[in-house]
């Protein structure tokens, strides 16, 4: 029998009523701004709302480009802006909503690999977990307590 390294991950499933007031604000802000996506190529609209420890909330959308890899996801857009302007404020929570342009229902979205590694970066910088909250088509919320729940075997240290 070979030795195994195991990592158990879990997400909490929350009804909207179970959200904390500040999380409800994040959801409202993300839903209100979803149409600001620049997504003419995928027609997949994404909005991320970020809470910093000083209580500030920032919102950003995916911004696509005719040269596809140039586009940026909503999560990295909001983190780049907030961390450039408030470099001493730890991100506490990031809430993500997504929708295909033609659909009325929302789509399930979880952060892509690049965004997971970016969230990890700011967890390392501040030494604090960042909660990741994802909206689902049923209107429930999936909550990860930190990036370890989405990216268990992540790249964390250049020197190890």
Please give the Cα distance from 119 to 116 (Å, whole number): 5
Q: Between the CA atoms of 104, 142, 22 and 107, what dihedral angle is there, to the nearest 10 degrees? A: -20
To which H or E segment does residue 74 belong?
helix 74-85
Residue 132 binds ligand THU (CB under 6 A): no
Residue 118 binds ligand THU (CB under 6 A): no
CB of 42 to ligand THU, least distance (A): 4
Residue 115 binds ligand THU (CB under 6 A): yes
Question: Which position among 14, 44, 100, 154 is part of the footprint of ligand THU (CB under 6 A)?
Answer: 44
Reduced to 3 states (helix: H, G, I; strand: E, B; else coil), residue 94 is strand
Please give the Cα distance from 51 to 8 (Å, whole number): 27
Q: Is 123 a catalytic residue?
A: no
Strands (E), 5-155: 12-14, 44-52, 57-61, 91-100, 131-135, 141-144
| Catalytic residue (one of 17, 23, 28, 75) | 75
Residue 134 binds ligand THU (CB under 6 A): no
Among the listed ranges 52-60, 69-77, 83-91, 139-147, the one in contact with ligand THU (CB under 6 A) is 69-77
CB of 2 to ligand THU, least distance (A): 34
**Which lies closer to ligand THU via its Cβ, residue 54 or residue 152?**
152
Please give the Cα distance from 160 to 156 (Å, whole number): 9
* Interacting residues toward ligand THU by CB under 6 A: 39, 42, 44, 46, 62, 64, 71, 73-75, 96, 109, 111-112, 115
Active site residues: 75
């Amino acid at each position: 029998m070979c030795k195994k390294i195991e990592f158990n991950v879990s997400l909490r499933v929350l009804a909207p009523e179970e959200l904390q007031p500040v999380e409800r604000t994040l959801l409202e802000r993300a839903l209100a701004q979803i149409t600001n996506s620049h997504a003419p190529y995928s027609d997949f609209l994404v909005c991320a709302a970020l809470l910093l420890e000083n209580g500030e909330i920032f919102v950003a959308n995916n911004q696509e480009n005719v040269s596809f890899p140039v586009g940026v996801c909503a999560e990295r857009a909001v983190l780049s802006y907030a961390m450039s302007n408030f470099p001493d404020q730890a991100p506490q929570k990031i809430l993500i909503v997504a929708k295909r342009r033609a659909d009325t229902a929302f789509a399930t979205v979880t952060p892509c690999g690049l965004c997971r590694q970016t969230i990890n970066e700011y967890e390392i910088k501040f030494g604090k977990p960042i909660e990741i909250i994802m909206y689902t088509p049923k209107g429930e919320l999936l909550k990860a307590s930190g990036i370890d729940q989405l990216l268990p075997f992540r790249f964390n240290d250049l020197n190890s």
